[in-house]
């Protein structure tokens, strides 16, 4: 049995979806333009686990216009997507969050209009299912609103990051928001508590970032001259004895960008287990910090219809506020 068929069967057993020995060729329609490839496939391959989708894209079994691409590739109208053999029937029992989680997400909605929902994402909650997580924010919203068939994540936040998360309600809004992100039409402002006391009031980090995969399969991001351009602007909000509260404005939007750039300055985010300082993290854990202190505090969206910029804010979580009060 070939390795491809073994991987197919292993991935599909997760949702009891049988293999069909037929390659599919999917033509991307204009309405789907701008979506990430993994999201596009998740919508087209109903019932197929995201872990299977990621694995086949990374292995090169999924191809776009006969070439290999990454899961975050943005599909374009007319693209031809080759999909390996898989049956796309819906799973018998799709994963769903419990009622308490649904209530929590309902209470976390901070903005809603005809185009967009903004959720104040709780720390520790994934934005979507996959990689050992059965559901996330987007699956919960779809369960809460079964009549809305076009709900899609506009961007992502790390699981340990809280704050403003955009979900488009229409395909047209999703395309517009993706274009605004590419063109700098959306400002994303974060608050982070950094280890160490800054003496300057601001700093701009212009350091390219490159994703790496360690031997155990863990993905990390490093500053690398051959990486993708990445720029973050930091501004001091308040200084404490051995830490600094900053606002971080994303000029670009790379994976783990704020976390890696803060560490690159020698003042990593407190509570960051991947890029942080273990000694400082332990010291602040004793003060009550049980998570990474990174919060997506504000969005400013300049819609192309000429109206004033839409501003959405999410306050710091109570546990983070309590920590700052103890420090102050």
What pLDDT sits at residue 34? Answer: 78
Whether the CA torsion 125, 131, 137, 141 is positive or negative: it is negative
Give the DSSP letter string of 122-150: PTT--SS-BTTBS--HHHHHHHH-TT-TT
What pLDDT sits at residue 93? Answer: 52
Q: What superfamily would CATH give domain 3-83? A: RNA-binding S4 domain (3.10.290.10)
What pLDDT sits at residue 92? Answer: 45
If phi > 0 it is left, if psi is from -120 to 50 it is alpha, else beta; for residue 107 that is alpha
Report how far apart, in Å, the C-alpha atoms of 38 and of each of 221, 289, 290 are: 20, 34, 32
Mean pLDDT by 10 residues, the chain (328 residues): 43 44 81 80 78 83 89 86 73 67 93 96 89 83 92 93 96 92 94 97 97 76 95 98 97 95 98 96 96 97 86 96 95
Longest dimension (CA), the chain: 64
What pLDDT sits at residue 77? Answer: 84
pLDDT in tens, 251-288: 999 999 999 999 999 999 999 999 999 999 999 999 99
Architecture, CATH, for domain 184-327: 2-Layer Sandwich (3.30)
Q: pTM for the complete prediction?
A: 0.76
Matching residue, tokens 């997400």: 105
What pLDDT sits at residue 8? Answer: 39
Give the start-to-end residue ranges of the domains of the chain.
3-83, 100-168, 184-327
What's the topology of domain 100-168? Alpha-Beta Plaits (3.30.70)
Buried b (16+ CB within 10 A) or exposed e, 175-186: bbbbebbeeebb
140 Cβ contact partners less than 8 Å away, ≥ 6 residues apart: 97, 101, 102, 105
What pLDDT sits at residue 24? Answer: 85
Report how far apart, in Å, the C-alpha atoms of 272 and of each of 32, 34, 250 are: 36, 31, 18
Residues noted as catalytic: 158
184-327 shares the fold of 3-83:
no
């Amino acid at each position: 049995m070939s390795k491809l068929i073994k991987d197919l069967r292993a991935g599909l057993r997760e949702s009891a979806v049988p293999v069909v020995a037929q390659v599919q060729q999917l033509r991307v329609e204009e309405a789907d333009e701008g979506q990430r490839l993994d999201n596009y496939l998740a919508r087209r391959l109903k019932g197929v686990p995201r872990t299977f989708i990621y694995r086949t894209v990374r292995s090169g079994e999924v191809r776009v216009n006969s070439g290999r691409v990454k899961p975050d590739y943005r599909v374009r109208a007319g693209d031809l997507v080759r999909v390996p053999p898989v049956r796309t029937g819906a799973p018998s029992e799709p994963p769903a969050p419990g009622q308490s989680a649904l209530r929590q997400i309902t209470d976390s909605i901070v903005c809603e209009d005809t185009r967009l929902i903004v959720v104040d994402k709780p720390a520790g909650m994934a934005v979507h299912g996959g990689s050992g997580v059965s559901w996330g924010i987007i699956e919960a919203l779809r369960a809460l609103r079964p009549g809305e068939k076009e709900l899609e994540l506009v961007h992502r936040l790390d699981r340990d990051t809280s704050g403003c998360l955009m979900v488009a309600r229409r395909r047209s809004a999703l395309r517009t928001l993706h274009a605004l992100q590419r063109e700098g039409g959306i400002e994303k402002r974060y608050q982070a508590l950094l280890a160490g006391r800054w003496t300057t009031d601001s700093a701009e980090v212009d350091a390219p970032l490159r994703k790496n995969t360690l031997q155990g399969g863990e993905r990390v991001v490093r500053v690398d001259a051959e990486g993708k351009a990445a720029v973050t602007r930091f501004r001091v909000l308040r200084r404490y004895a051995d830490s600094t509260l900053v606002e971080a404005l994303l000029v670009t939007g790379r994976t783990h960008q704020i976390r890696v750039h803060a560490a690159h300055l020698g003042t990593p985010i407190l509570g960051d287990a991947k890029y942080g300082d273990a000694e400082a993290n332990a010291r602040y854990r004793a003060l009550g910090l049980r998570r990474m202190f990174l919060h997506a505090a504000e969005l400013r969206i300049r819609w192309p219809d000429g109206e004033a910029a839409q501003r959405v804010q999410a306050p710091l979580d109570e546990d983070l506020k309590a920590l700052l009060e103890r420090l102050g």
